[in-house]
Amino acid sequence: MAASMTAEDKTRLAALFDTSGDFLRDGHWRERETPVFEDDAAEDGAAQRVAGGGDSLETIAAEVRECKACGLCALRILPVPGEGVERPLALVIGEAPGSEEDERGKPFVGAAGHLLDRMLASINLSRTTNCFITNTVKCRPPGNRDPSPEEAAACAPFLARQMRVLRPAYILCMGRIAAQTMLHTSEGIGRLRGKFFDYTPDYPADNAAAPAIPLIATYHPSALLRDASLKRPAWEDLKTLLARLQT
């Protein structure tokens, strides 16, 4: 992805090109009108709105911050809409924010988050270059308990809208809750992990059904921190995804 530029950066660059052209032409500077530019952020937002049918990641995040659709809003410090790049290679989905995420408003920033970053890096993925990271629910459940079905249902429209804007190539579910929520199943993570499922989004694509997105699940990083024996099977899951990414 190209580095973003501000309107001021673009104005200065245009002036440099004009001055260089005048010098190369005959050495005389010519007065001209200053062109009007916009920040790349504004342009990116417009692209997101087109891709998402008028929606954008910024709009969704703003609505998440104001959301009072379930009781978690009364207990949170900061909601956690998600973080990453547009049009990601992989959409990484966890279950819910923890205490550090609740305090900072960003996903996967605690010990499990640092491990997740290392796991992603091992297969050439990163939240700064080609991933978007979010959770099935955007606010921390008290005591880090599992989100209730009602809480997951209240947040489901936000996740669906994010997917509509992001259009990820792959989905990586971290842990049982995320996998069960996305696949609408009660199967355990031991049966769900390490293989691809076709996830069908609920948004249209070119007036037709959206193509299925390959989805794979593995153990949550916090489970690996509790039980080191899960690290090897988790690595096998990641290698399965890497093989698909490479093809």
Q: Domain residue spans in the chain? A: 51-246
**What is d(CA 223, CA 240) in angstroms, rounded to the nearest whole number?**
19
In the block, residue with structure tokens 């992805």: 1
Work out the pLDDT band at 58, boundaries 50, 70, 90: very high
- Residue 53 has a pLDDT of 59
**What is the number of alpha carbons within 13 Å of residue 115 lying toward its C-beta?**
16
The lowest-confidence range among 56-70, 168-182, 197-211 is: 197-211
Q: How confident is the model at residue 33 (pLDDT cuts 50, 70, 90)?
A: low
* Residue 1 confidence (pLDDT): 41
- Burial of 177-214, coded b for 16+ CB within 10 Å and e otherwise, reads bbbbbbeeeeeebeebbbebbebebeeeeeeeebeebb
Is residue 27 scored above 90 in pLDDT? no
Task: State which fold the 51-246 domain adopts.
Answer: Uracil-DNA Glycosylase, subunit E (3.40.470)
pLDDT band at 68 (very low <50, low <70, confident <90, very high): very high
